[in-house]
Amino acid sequence: MVMVRAAFAAARSLKRDFGEVEHLQFTEKGPGDFVSNADIYAQKVIREHLLRARPDYGFLGEEGQPATGNGTHRWIVDPLDGTTNFMHGLPHFAISIALEHQGEIAAGLVLNPATDELFWAEKGAGAFLETPSSIRSRRLRVAGRRTLQNALIATGIPYPAKGRHDEYLRTLQSAMAGTSGVRRFGAAALDLAFVAAARFDGFWELDLSPWDVAAGILLVKEAGGAVSDLAGAPYQLGGPSILASNFELHEPLSKLLSNA
C-alpha cells in the first residue's frame, strides 16, 4: 500500500532527528505551535511518495500549499502530529495519512515512529493494528464499557491562540467529575487510534484541523465506534469540536461535555 510505504519512509527520517532534537532549527508558526525541519522534511518525503504513485490526486498537508488534483481523490496528511512532544524528546508522536474519495475518508493510517505501531483502516473492511512483533494484523474493536464512571477519556488542550480556554476548562471539569479519569498525551491522531484500539474509552478536543483527525476518524468508525461533534451532530472535517467513543458511551458523554 502506497500510504504505508510513504509513512515508513517518513518515519525513518523522524527517527534520525528524534535523538537530535537539540540540534534542529525551528520556525515558529504561532504561540505554542512550532514546526521543525523534521516536520517539513517528513511531509516532503510523504508527498513525493504519494504523488509519484497517484499524480492526479489532490494533497492537503499541515505544511505548505495544497494541491487540487482531480477533484475526486485527496490525500490528507499530518507528517508529525505531536510536534511539541517530539521537540521535547517525548516518544509519543505520529504520522497520519488519509485518503479522501468524493468527500469521504476511504482509507487511513496512523504510525507511531517511536514504537512502529501501525494503525490502519479501510472503509467497510475494518480497522487493524500491526506491530514489529506481530505475525499478522490484529482486528481492532472499541472498548465495551457502558458507564462513564468506569471510562478513561483522552483530550487535548487548546493552544493559547485559539482563545477557548474557559469553554475547555468547563468541559474538562465535567469530564473529571463524571468519568474515571482524563489523559492528555498531546497527539490527537494517536488518541483516536487508541480509542479504536480500546486503550481509551473516548476522546474529545476543540478546533482540530482536518489532517489531525482524518485517519483517526476512520479508525474509530471501522473499529465499531461513533464520531460526532460535542453536541452529537455529525462531525465535519475542520469542525469546532470532535467526540469519539463507543456507541454505548457516546450520548451520555456528549451530554456530559456539551452541557458543561
Cell, residue 129: 493494528
- 39 has binding-site annotation: no
Q: Which residues contact 92 (CB under 8 A, 6 or more apart)?
A: 82, 85, 112, 114, 185, 186, 187, 190
CB atoms within 10 A of CB 102: 9
Supply the DSSP string of 217-236, one letter for each residue. HHHHHHTT-EEE-TTSSBP-
- 191 has binding-site annotation: no
Going from the C-alpha of 126 to that of each of 38, 51, 141, 243, 244, the distances in angstroms are: 32, 26, 9, 20, 17
Q: Is 26 in a helix, a strand, or coil? A: strand
Q: Are 83 and 36 in contact (CB under 8 A)?
A: yes
The whole-angstrom separation of Cα 167 and Cα 64 is 31
Residue type, 257: L
Cell, residue 5: 510505504
The whole-angstrom separation of Cα 132 and Cα 136 is 10
The whole-angstrom separation of Cα 60 and Cα 121 is 19
- 130 has binding-site annotation: no
- 253 has binding-site annotation: no
- 229 has binding-site annotation: no
Tell which phi-psi region holds residue 238, choosing left (phi > 0), alpha (psi between -120 and 50) or beta: left
Q: Could you list the residues known to form a binding site for Mg(2+), using ranges.
A: 62, 78, 80-81, 212
Q: Could you list the residues known to form a binding site, using ranges.
A: 62, 78, 80-81, 212
